Chains A and B, each alone.
Chain A
Amino acid sequence: MITKKTRAFLLLAAMMTTFISAWSQDEAEEERVYDFAEENHQCFKCHGHKTFYYFNENMDQQIRERMNPYYIIDTVEYYSSNHWNFSCFDCHSYDYSDFPHPNELRMEPKPGCLDCHGGDDYEDLSWEKIDEEFQKSVHSTKHSADFKCSMCHDPHTYKVNARTNENIKETIQYDNGICLSCHADINKYQLIVDFVNPNVLETHQWLPNQALHWQSVRCIECHVEMNEDMLIAHNVQPKEKAVRKCVECHSENSLLLASLYKYQVKERRNELGFFNAAIMNNSYIIGANRNYYLNMISLILFGMVVLGIGIHATIRIIKK
């Protein structure tokens, strides 16, 4: 039988649970007002689906057609991307609001990222510097103007990860996905080159624990020249210049501290005497995870053992 006291306790517990869950939901979900949701819906009602329909006046009937898969925008991804509060017409001509879309619109040059971001400075992220680095990279020197920022950073889905995501593994997966969207997909790869995409699994056969490396570091760690002034370097190097020496990462001054863990290192310096505390919380890298105190203790203990043996042996020799 439930007593009055128990009932009151259960009621209080239920109220607390409701309050806590409502509070944590509020905390988790940032209040967002989507200024262009209604306007964008005009585009997404076709481009947000695999099929669309329109009224064909010549045939006097409603026609249902398949949407070109490359022109489908995932609305959930779009509204959680960095450009979530943009109108489609910020980048695409307003004339697209007409249907059927006027043919000549396809011939119009598309805006580049620097058309908006030129002059922007955010922390140590300067778009002009990124552009300078990119111009030096193989992506630019081998493919000239064909290679656009948007080939890697789809403006409909791209979101900053390294600075906002606490989970390094997710950042790694996201960033590697960008590289693999071309380097593991011949259809996209051959948009700018004619030759066959080399198989990344084969070209990286030499790498021990291949799967683990790919889960733990980003492609750019080895394939991009580091730049101290930038959070994310963009100078992608030719394959001959990729890092192949294990000790570049597997050492106290691990290369990863200047790349993958750069943001974390800046945010929180060494904790508890670990040389590379930022790495420790997320991964383990032979040669890079060292503890200052453990190093000292082991050296002292080792010294004491050797000294003890030395003294003991000396007395034994004297007293022989």
Chain B
Amino acid sequence: MSEERLYLYPLWLRIWHWINALMFLVLIATGLSLQYAGPESTFIRFDYAVQYHNIAGIILTISFVFFVLANRFTSNRKFYRIKYKGFVKRLMKQFRYYIYGVFIHEPKPYPVSEKRKFNPLQKLSYVMVMYLMMPVIIITGFGLLFPETNIENVFGVAGIYLTDLLHIVTGFVLSVFMIVHIYFCTFGKTVGSEFKSMFTGWH
């Protein structure tokens, strides 16, 4: 192998990542079970699902706060900075690679390096997920955990219902993100190499 091995994922990041992943799975499974609860169709018993969902939500919140702080105070933050000039152009280039280039074995337009862990599409999606959607799902989640904090009535509709709507829509988008994220992790040197990196830290 001619390529230099890079230590891209420090231990704190890997621990955070896998806790986050596990909590995502628990929250999706219990969340779906609650949303489609019924006497016959319940996948996880309702009261258990509520408990697991609450606990996993709190762990996810702690892990999110940890991520934000760690990202703020370590050099990892540089990977999340978006340079706006020419960003759309770079996004399109990466998009073209995914829908065409990858099939004809073109070289990756933005290969991983010490200075660049994410390609433009990855960077945009991670920033959106971590700094927009995660706060939304956490805040709305706490709104549902403490229902008395919601506005009682918003234009004739229960305020808590709107909180829930935002929670489940964001939850759905995050679930789709997770599936796409897992698929794009098969784009490494081998199908499993990226997964392995997230355990060893070495790219």
Interface of A with B (CB < 8 Å)?
208-209, 212, 245-248, 250-253, 280-284, 286-287, 289-291, 294, 298, 301-302, 305-306, 309, 312-313, 315-316, 319
Looking at the assembled complex, report how far the CB atom of B178 sits from the nearest CB atom of chain A, in whole angstroms.
11
Q: Can you list the 5 inter-chain pairs with the closest CB atoms, starting with the nearest? A: A287-B37, A246-B46, A251-B38, A284-B160, A284-B161
Within 8 Å by CB of B148, from A212, A286, A291, A319, lies: A212
Bound complex: CA A212 to CA B146 (Å): 10
Contact A286 B180 (CB under 8 A): no
Q: Name 25 interchain pairs, CB-CB below 8 A, sorted by A.
A: A208-B50, A212-B147, A212-B148, A245-B39, A251-B37, A251-B38, A251-B41, A280-B158, A281-B157, A282-B158, A284-B147, A284-B158, A284-B160, A284-B163, A287-B35, A287-B36, A287-B38, A289-B161, A302-B172, A302-B176, A309-B180, A315-B103, A316-B102, A316-B103, A319-B105
- Complex contacts, B165 vs chain A, CB 8 Å: 291, 294
Bound complex: CA A209 to CA B158 (Å): 18
Looking at the assembled complex, report how far the CB atom of A49 sits from the nearest CB atom of chain B, in whole angstroms.
38
Bound complex: CA A297 to CA B105 (Å): 35
Besides A245-B39, A281-B156, A301-B176, 12 other A-B contacts (C-beta < 8 A) = A246-B50, A247-B46, A250-B46, A252-B38, A280-B157, A281-B158, A287-B46, A289-B161, A294-B169, A302-B172, A316-B102, A319-B103
Bound complex: CA A291 to CA B176 (Å): 19
Contact B180 A247 (CB under 8 A): no
B114 interface residue per 8 A CB criterion: no
Contact A306 B38 (CB under 8 A): no
Contact B164 A284 (CB under 8 A): yes
Q: Which residue of B lies closest to A216 (CB)?
A: B147
- Complex contacts, A309 vs chain B, CB 8 Å: 179-180, 183
Q: Which of B145-167 touch A at CB < 8 Å?
A: 147-148, 156-158, 160-161, 163-165
Interface of B with A (CB < 8 Å)?
34-39, 41-42, 46-47, 50, 98, 102-105, 147-148, 156-158, 160-161, 163-165, 168-169, 172, 176, 179-180, 183, 186
- Complex contacts, A289 vs chain B, CB 8 Å: 161, 164
Looking at the assembled complex, report how far the CB atom of A59 sits from the nearest CB atom of chain B, in whole angstroms.
58
Contact A319 B104 (CB under 8 A): yes
Looking at the assembled complex, report how far the CB atom of A207 sits from the nearest CB atom of chain B, in whole angstroms.
10
- Complex contacts, B160 vs chain A, CB 8 Å: 283-284
- The SS class assigned to the B binding surface is helix
Looking at the assembled complex, report how far the CB atom of B149 sits from the nearest CB atom of chain A, in whole angstroms.
11
Bound complex: CA A282 to CA B160 (Å): 9
Q: Which residue of B lies closest to A304 (CB)?
A: B176
Looking at the assembled complex, report how far the CB atom of A57 sits from the nearest CB atom of chain B, in whole angstroms.
59
Bound complex: CA A290 to CA B36 (Å): 8
Within 8 Å by CB of B47, from A208, A290, A313, lies: A208
Given that A287-B46, A309-B179, A309-B180 are known contacts, is A280 also in contact with B161, CB under 8 Å in the complex?
yes
Contact B103 A209 (CB under 8 A): no
Looking at the assembled complex, report how far the CB atom of B135 sits from the nearest CB atom of chain A, in whole angstroms.
21
Looking at the assembled complex, report how far the CB atom of B118 sits from the nearest CB atom of chain A, in whole angstroms.
20
- Complex contacts, A319 vs chain B, CB 8 Å: 103-105
- Complex contacts, B183 vs chain A, CB 8 Å: 309, 312-313
Bound complex: CA A291 to CA B169 (Å): 11
- Complex contacts, B102 vs chain A, CB 8 Å: 316
Bound complex: CA A247 to CA B103 (Å): 49
Bound complex: CA A281 to CA B180 (Å): 36
Bound complex: CA A319 to CA B157 (Å): 53
Contact B50 A247 (CB under 8 A): no
Q: Which residue of B lies closest to A287 (CB)?
A: B37
- Complex contacts, B161 vs chain A, CB 8 Å: 280, 283-284, 289
Contact B39 A290 (CB under 8 A): no
- Complex contacts, B47 vs chain A, CB 8 Å: 208, 246
Bound complex: CA A306 to CA B175 (Å): 12
Contact B147 A298 (CB under 8 A): no
Looking at the assembled complex, report how far the CB atom of B196 sits from the nearest CB atom of chain A, in whole angstroms.
19
Looking at the assembled complex, report how far the CB atom of A61 sits from the nearest CB atom of chain B, in whole angstroms.
57
Contact A250 B37 (CB under 8 A): yes
Bound complex: CA A251 to CA B160 (Å): 17
Bound complex: CA A305 to CA B176 (Å): 8
Residue among A286, A289, A306, A315 with max Cβ neighbours from chain B (10 Å): A286
Q: Which residue of A lies closest to B173 (CB)?
A: A301
